[in-house]
Chains A and B, each alone.
Chain A
């Protein structure tokens, strides 16, 4: 299994600012993902973080709003840019080391005022 940590665990931000969330995995993983979970809702995939290349975004999410980096096999960042109150959510990092089993970090709770 993989142990995933995220920083920060929570933050309160002002409208129009940006926040970068860091994700660290304790072992090399083949794939890393970023999800959003809004209260009472399911997990929604934002993008797949690809090592050394541009992330692959899901419908409804764009690179200008959610730039993602993945410089190596154990680390990734997600930036939430030009934030609005609608961006208030839990952001989850996830990693997959085997063919299917996928593990999640503890999440970053973001409140935008």
Chain B
């Protein structure tokens, strides 16, 4: 069964304290891995798509990397405005024409000034 597990469930950082969020996945074949940011009371906001092992994407203080079994979202020198829940989702090759996304439960990040 296709599965996505994110860790930790919650992470508290001081402003400027770099860290990483983990997304491990089990899927027969990976079509794509997606990272979203979700603020309280809002819908998920698209951040990155990764397609193959070794691929990296960057956006401001965020950098996403992908291996054959997991993805990391690295946060460099975070600021309080980076506080949010970060969601990981995978799309399987055998997901059919609909290509449904399978989501993890997310990591809730809090950055204190």
Contact residues of A with B, CB < 8 Å? 1, 4, 31, 33, 40-43, 45, 48, 56, 58, 92, 96, 100-107, 109
Contacts and interface: CB of A to CB of B under 8 A. Distances in A.
Given A40-B105, A104-B43, A107-B42, 6 more contacts: A43-B44, A92-B43, A100-B34, A104-B36, A104-B44, A107-B41
A96 B46 CA distance: 12
A31 B87 contact: no
A43 B91 CA distance: 14
B47 to A, nearest CB: 11
Contacts of A105: 43
A45 B89 CA distance: 12
Given A43-B87, A100-B32, A106 B42 contact: yes
Interface in B61-89: 87, 89
Contact of A102 (B101, B105, B106): B101
Contacts, number: 49
Given A42-B103, A43-B103, A100 B43 contact: no
B100 A42 contact: no
B98 A56 contact: yes
Counting from the closest, the 10 A-B pairs by CB-CB distance are A104-B43, A43-B103, A42-B103, A42-B105, A104-B44, A106-B43, A100-B32, A107-B43, A48-B98, A105-B43
B29 interface: no
B49 interface: yes
Contacts of A102: 34, 46, 101
Contacts of A41: 105
B-side interface mostly: strand
B99 interface: yes
Given A42-B105, A100-B91, A1 B46 contact: yes
A4 B101 CA distance: 18
B31 interface: yes
Contacts of A48: 98, 100
B49 A101 contact: yes
A76 B59 CA distance: 32
B104 to A, nearest CB: 6
